[in-house]
Structure 1
């Protein structure tokens, strides 16, 4: 298991941990799955609300961010569902469920952007090529913060406290990498929908980081 990650205080300054309700703790897996589907549909709708006179091109920062962040989010959804379905810790279950449902909805939004821009969801550009330092951030084919196949295999096999600590540690790294990517598109884009959604993602993930680190500290990770 990788060493615990220490969050830089600059990532957490002035952040107030959100009041996470007991909703996820009360839901069963079918109910969360339904919530994820609803979030995905709302994401699709949100991506279509604002008509555009101009559209980002295939090699644009907006298109690259959307494609790469869909892949990045997909791993977070899997990790969150593992925690929600199999953790025995109520707080970890709640965090996992919240992350899975929120990021699935954002996947829907970004996929809808690409369709509305008339772009291939996969594209031909290498991962992270839309960021100035992007090539150097890809390690063994993985974007910033993404868990390795070996780490994901460990998470799928883990149980009890080991599962909780590993999930929290991996998700902290995942969010920190995701925020770096979000900052990249915020620096590069003036597309209103992209900027607004990216800023919301950043705020949500910063709040998640507070909860993830607090839970990790409580469990002695």
Structure 2
């Protein structure tokens, strides 16, 4: 392991703010009424809706983010990177659980034969294990598994920056087109939180003498 690179105090506060916002969002969604049907409607979202597509695709997107966070957590002793990984693991695992729960309550399968991103109007074809824009390839994940110390930190921060940018784009699309308040609120908060973390990770890369 390499020696820990201390980030400026402003980065620590930024990371704490992201975590507080994310936890508040999770608590807000938990105390909201059941999402068994769209707010103000008597029917669950259609299979082709943005609500169902976003919940399904973002659950997969989040799953990989959690996997990468676990990988870097075990490959560095750096407190700032491990704290960021912890925040991602907890926030995105909780959000994924909510989205999968909504799919179940809507009577929609958690996976489908539809191409990813079809609900956004531009379906994608997976490549080297990367199912959607921003997701790391199998080759990149293998590199992260093999890395240690600063190398693991930099690679993780770069991969997660790309991951978050694409996730924020998807979340903004859902916030603007979903039919349920539940998805609109979650997606809007998710986009803001991930944009904040992108800024935080840019500062963390700079502190390590690396570029995004």
Could you tell me the TM-score, scaled by structure 1's length? 0.76
- Quick check: 1:152 aligned with 2:141? yes
Runs of 4+ with >4 A deviation: 41-48
Structure 1 CA distance for aligned equivalents of residues 151 and 36 of structure 2: 47
Of 76, 97, 115, 1:108 maps to: 97
Tell me: CA distance 1:45–1:187, structure 2 relative to 1, closer, same or farther (3 Å): closer
Question: Could you say which residue in structure 2 is the equivalent of 1:200?
Answer: 189
Question: Could you say which residue in structure 2 is the equivalent of 1:36?
Answer: none
Question: Could you say which residue in structure 2 is the equivalent of 1:177?
Answer: 166
Question: Could you say which residue in structure 1 is the equivalent of 2:110?
Answer: 121
Tell me: CA distance 1:133–1:50, structure 2 relative to 1, closer, same or farther (3 Å): closer
Structure 2 CA distance for aligned equivalents of residues 120 and 215 of structure 1: 39
SS of the aligned residue for 2:164 comes to: helix
Tell me: CA distance 1:132–1:207, structure 2 relative to 1, closer, same or farther (3 Å): same
- Quick check: 1:84 aligned with 2:88? no
Question: How many aligned positions are there?
Answer: 188
Contact kept, 8 Å, 1:47 with 1:112, in 2: the verdict is: no
- Quick check: 1:55 aligned with 2:44? yes
Contact kept, 8 Å, 2:144 with 2:152, in 1: the verdict is: yes
Question: Could you say which residue in structure 1 is the equivalent of 2:200?
Answer: 211
Query: How far does residue 89 in structure 1 lie from its aligned partner after superposition?
Result: 1.5
For residues 113-161 of structure 1, what are the alpha-carbon distances to aligned partners after superposition, in whole Å with 9 as ceiling and x for unaligned?
10110111112311111111233xx452520100000000000110011
Of 9, 15, 26, 1:20 maps to: 15
Contact kept, 8 Å, 1:48 with 1:116, in 2: the verdict is: no
For residues 164-203 of structure 1, what are the alpha-carbon distances to aligned partners after superposition, in whole Å with 9 as ceiling and x for unaligned?
0000000000001111111221232131000000011111
Structure 1 CA distance for aligned equivalents of residues 173 and 199 of structure 2: 22
Contact kept, 8 Å, 1:43 with 1:108, in 2: the verdict is: no
Tell me: CA distance 1:149–1:123, structure 2 relative to 1, closer, same or farther (3 Å): same
Query: How far does residue 86 in structure 1 lie from its aligned partner after superposition?
Result: 2.3
- Of stretches 87-96 and 154-163 in structure 1, the one that deviates more from structure 2 is 87-96
SS of the aligned residue for 2:51 comes to: helix
Structure 1 CA distance for aligned equivalents of residues 33 and 108 of structure 2: 14
Within a 5 Å distance, the mapping from 1:2-17 to structure 2 comes to none
Structure 2 CA distance for aligned equivalents of residues 48 and 104 of structure 1: 21
